[in-house]
Amino acid sequence: MKSLNAQLYCNLKSYLGRSDSWNISIDHEGNLIVLTSTKEGSMYHHDLYHLKNDSTIHIKIPALKMTILTSAQPVGDNYLLVEALMEDEENDPRNAYVINKEGNILNKYAFGDGVQDVQTTTEGDVWVSYFDQSDAGRLNCFNNGNKTFDFYYSIREKNRHVPPIDDCYAMNVTPDCTNIYYYSDFPFLKIKGENQFELFEDIPIQGCSAFAIHGYDVLFSQDYDAKPEVYLYALQEEKKITFKTLKPDGSILNYYQAAGRGTKLFLIEDTEVYLLDINHVKNFFL
């Protein structure tokens, strides 16, 4: 088996402090966003850290009765925070908050239960994927809170050969298309617009949670076997290369969480974040 040395991107320890829980997201430029949550009494306090251009934007969010950790994404000059479940926050069951850099809540939206991932674009589109317990479909796109795309009505209803989405395991929104990999048959779909798509079936990887992409080459995170591996797969040629992941010192990178956007795949072990770029992998091995 071939080996890949991942680059140490950052250590999150200084951002996490004494927080109870945390999560990461990636913006459309490939920058990391860290969202932390700390419970005090019956309220939750959140901090957002946007690691951008060698600087860090830090936003303290007003106390809420619910924790919001599923995703944080930029929308213009503001930020969108989304929680997986539509819990009742003061009789207002919306699960998406738009905040400014001062931490003030500007707007709220309802994206539906069971949110898996959220990725925004420079045009203000908000792509939302869902897991299998959702009542909101499996893949939607919103703009200013209004739904502009629904996987079922936009693609599946007119193209019954496209497998239905039971659980959208991984999504990567790039400037040219929205890429998804999903359960149960684990196909790969490149969505380019209303009823415009490319379908790739029989992907020989099952259960990965994140991927990086460039053209028709995909770098998948570990699958159900949960070994410290990644997989470079050519969609058109149907060729797969398996790599063992290593730290810069040559030791095994036993990552337990992954996140992908564009060409970047982030791998997390403890509080250390490592980076693989699919272009580097392709240039080195292909």
The answer, yes or no, to whether residue 62 has pLDDT greater than 70, is yes
Number of structural domains (the chain) is: 1
Specify the range with the lowest mean pLDDT, choosing from 15-24, 36-45, 84-93, 268-277: 84-93
- Domain with residue 247: its CATH number is 2.120.10.30
Distance of CA 273 to the CA centre of its chain: 15
pLDDT over 80 (residue 282) = yes
**pLDDT class of 88 with cuts at 50, 70, 90:** low
| Tens-digit pLDDT profile for residues 218-270 | 999 999 988 899 999 999 999 999 999 999 999 999 999 999 999 999 999 99
What is the residue whose two structure tokens read 């990965």?
Answer: 208
Selected residue with higher pLDDT from 285 and 101? 101
What pTM was estimated for this model as a whole? 0.95
- Buried b / exposed e over 230-256, threshold 16 CB at 10 Å, is bbbbebeeeeebebebbbeeeeebebe
Q: How confident is the model at residue 91 (pLDDT cuts 50, 70, 90)?
A: low
Q: What is the pLDDT of residue 12?
A: 97
Q: Has residue 110 got a pLDDT over 80?
A: yes
Between 220 and 62, name the one with better pLDDT.
Answer: 220
Cβ-based neighbours of 153, under 8 Å, separated by 6 or more = none
| Average pLDDT of span 193-205 | 96
Q: What are phi and psi of 63, to 5 degrees?
A: -60, 140
**Residue 65: predicted pLDDT:** 84
Contact 236, 216 (CB under 8 A): yes
- pLDDT for 1: 87
According to the model, what pLDDT value does residue 281 have?
95
The pLDDT of residue 92 is 65
Q: Residue 90: which pLDDT band, with cuts at 50, 70 and 90?
A: low
Report the pLDDT value the prediction gives residue 111, as an integer from 0 to 100. Answer: 94
CA distance 198 to 206: 19
26: number of CA atoms within 13 Å, CB side? Answer: 22
Would you say residue 86 has pLDDT above 80? no
Please give the pLDDT value at position 138: 94
- Mean pLDDT is lowest, of 13-27, 69-83, 85-99, for 85-99
Question: DSSP characters for 92-106?
Answer: ----EEEE-TT--EE
Domain holding 11, by residue range, is: 2-285
Average pLDDT over all residues of the chain: 94
